[in-house]
A = this chain, B = another copy of it.
Amino acid sequence: MGRTKEFDPDAALRRAMGLFWRQGYEATSMQDLVDCLGLGRGSIYGAFGGKRELYLQALRRYVEDSGQAFVEHLSAPGRAFDAVCGMIRHYAEMSVEDAEFKGCFMVNTAVELPADEQAGRQVESSLSVMETALTSALMRARAEGDLPEGRDPAALARFLVTLLQGMRVVGKTRARGRYLEDTVEQAIALLK
């Protein structure tokens, strides 16, 4: 019933995500979104609600997508220990290759909107996914004999979650190269 949408809401959400990710919430105006999405204001409000609702939907999408990729990486075939090390290296590579200094959308949100309850819930869910995936990977690594006895996989996982967020912050500075190289090296040394 009724007229069908002319645009792809999924593609529009993806574009909005990129814009919010690059510019942040406050620095992005509805006019920016109109220009970027190629839609009229009315269409955006009709499809997504307001600016904040659009942001939250974009964030949700980011959290789901990146969370899935995170879990997949850590549960890939092969030794879990190598997967964990690979993840740490991957974070450094992502940051160094990030020419736009976008960083991580989730970290950006945690920093810019710490008081927003709904955004906060998504940030915490993202951290939780990382924690769980890392914990189970580290438990597997221990079973595979790659993790020294006496190490607590859950505590180590939370430590790594914190460290990865730090890499995303340092990755937004121009001095990131020096910091990230050594961070990767030292973190991996810790695990051994």
Contacts and interface: CB of A to CB of B under 8 A. Distances in A.
Interface centre among A115, A154, A158 (most CB of B within 10 A): A158
A175 to B, nearest CB: 5
B159 A186 contact: yes
A132 to B, nearest CB: 12
B162 A170 contact: yes
Interface residues of A, number: 47
A80 interface: no
A173 B24 contact: no
Interchain residue pairs A-B with the least CB separation, the first 8 = A166-B166, A26-B26, A159-B186, A101-B114, A155-B182, A158-B182, A165-B169, A165-B166
B114 A112 contact: no
Contacts of A115: 101
A34 interface: no
A56 interface: no
A178 interface: yes
A72 to B, nearest CB: 23
A137 interface: no
Nearest to A108: B111
B163 A114 contact: no
Given A162-B179, A186-B156, A190-B190, A173 B120 contact: yes
Given A110-B172, A165-B165, 16 more contacts: A26-B27, A103-B111, A110-B173, A111-B112, A112-B112, A114-B172, A120-B173, A124-B174, A155-B185, A161-B170, A161-B179, A163-B166, A165-B166, A166-B169, A186-B190, A190-B190
